[in-house]
């Protein structure tokens, strides 16, 4: 399979990394921590539980590599990032100056990873697989470089959102900056893991599309918006009501978020 057929959006990604402003590193880091907090916490937990004394971590399609830096910015951890976009890796190297521990970067194809078999404890990607026309081949290559017992974590857009509808409308109009992009249901990810002989360890959803057209975000933020204009908001009753509303939504997000939140992340284990 040719690189162009397997990854048809390189020019789109290069353009984004050339044109966007990545100078405010602190703001970028805060944005990632806020929007991907649950996903990043999950990756940290995997590393904390890793039996290797010197865990090796690989991020596929690392882009700015902020997620990699945040998760693996610790002693006794080897961090690697790979991306097909040279412009992305320039940004990643620049952002790395803000972190104590450094990462190693390689310009390469997700379908032909330049790493040995069974060499990583954790392989992860965020917002990558949906841009590839052959996700199974890409995932199979990631499994190849993963150690037996290692974890493969995939984060992609969740299918059942208004964001998906708007995205495809823009793709048809040619105004979507990322080029080709698909999305995933929980069942589709499960099926991918089953076909590749992986063991599912956990699944989670995280993040909302912060737009008035997204009904789940509208309902999630409804009470807080009301509180801002509620003249009696300082009364204890409304404070308790707001907390209860937030607790209910947190419970829904924890149990069913992978079915309605903007992004879905699944963790697979490579069997020995």
Burial grade of 166 (CB within 10 A; 0-12, 13-18, 19 or more):
middle
Q: Which residues of the chain have pLDDT under 50?
A: 1-8
- Interval 33-60: pLDDT, tens: 999 999 999 999 999 999 998 999 999 9
Residue 110, domain CATH: 3.40.50.150
In a domain, 17, yes or no: yes
Residue 15 lies in a domain: yes
Tens-place pLDDT, residues 210-253? 888 899 999 988 877 767 776 767 777 777 888 898 999 999 99
Q: Is 82 a member of any domain?
A: yes
Whole-number pLDDT of residue 264 = 98
Domain count along the chain = 1
- In a domain, residue 146? The reply is yes
Per the document, the length of the chain is 272
- Cβ atoms within 10 Å, residue 18: 12
User: Does residue 49 fall inside a structural domain?
Assistant: yes
Domain that holds residue 198: 3-208+257-269
Determine, yes or no, domain membership for 149.
yes
Q: Does residue 239 belong to any structural domain of this protein? A: no
Q: Look at phi and psi of residue 61 and say left if phi exceeds 0, alpha if psi is from -120 to 50, else beta.
A: left
Residue 43 lies in a domain: yes
Q: Are 127 and 102 in contact (CB under 8 A)?
A: no
**DSSP track, 63-125:** TT-HHHHHHH-SSS-EEEEEES-HHHHHHHHHHGGGSSS--EEEE--TTS-SS-TT-EEEEEE
Q: Say what the pLDDT of residue 9 is.
A: 57
CB proximity list for 116: less than 8 A, separation 6 or greater: 145
Mean residue pLDDT across the chain: 90
């Amino acid at each position: 399979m040719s690189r162009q057929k397997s990854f048809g959006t390189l020019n789109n990604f290069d353009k984004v990394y050339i044109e966007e402003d990545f100078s405010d590193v602190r703001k970028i880091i805060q944005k990632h921590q806020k929007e991907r907090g649950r996903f990043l916490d999950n990756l940290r937990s995997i590393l904390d539980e890793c039996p290797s004394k010197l865990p090796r971590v690989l991020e596929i399609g690392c882009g700015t590599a902020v997620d990699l830096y945040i998760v693996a910015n610790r002693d006794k951890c080897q961090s690697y990032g790979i991306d097909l976009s040279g412009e992305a890796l320039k940004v990643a190297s620049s952002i790395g100056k803000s972190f104590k521990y450094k990462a190693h970067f390689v310009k390469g194809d997700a379908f032909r990873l330049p790493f040995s078999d069974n060499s990583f404890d954790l392989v992860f990607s965020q917002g990558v697989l949906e841009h590839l026309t052959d996700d199974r081949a890409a995932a199979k290559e990631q499994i190849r470089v993963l150690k037996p017992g290692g974890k493969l974590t995939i984060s992609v857009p969740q299918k059942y959102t208004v964001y998906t509808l708007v995205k495809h409308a823009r793709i048809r109009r040619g105004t979507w900056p990322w080029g080709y992009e698909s999305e995933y249901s929980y069942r589709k990810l499960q099926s991918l893991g089953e076909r590749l002989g992986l063991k599912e360890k956990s699944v989670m959803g995280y993040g909302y599309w912060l737009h008035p057209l997204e009904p789940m975000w509208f309902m999630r933020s409804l009470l807080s918006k009301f509180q801002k204009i509620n003249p009696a908001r300082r009364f204890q009753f409304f404070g308790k009501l707001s907390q209860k509303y937030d607790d209910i939504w947190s419970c829904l997000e924890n149990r069913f978020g992978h079915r309605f939140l903007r992004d879905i992340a699944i963790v697979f284990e490579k069997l020995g």
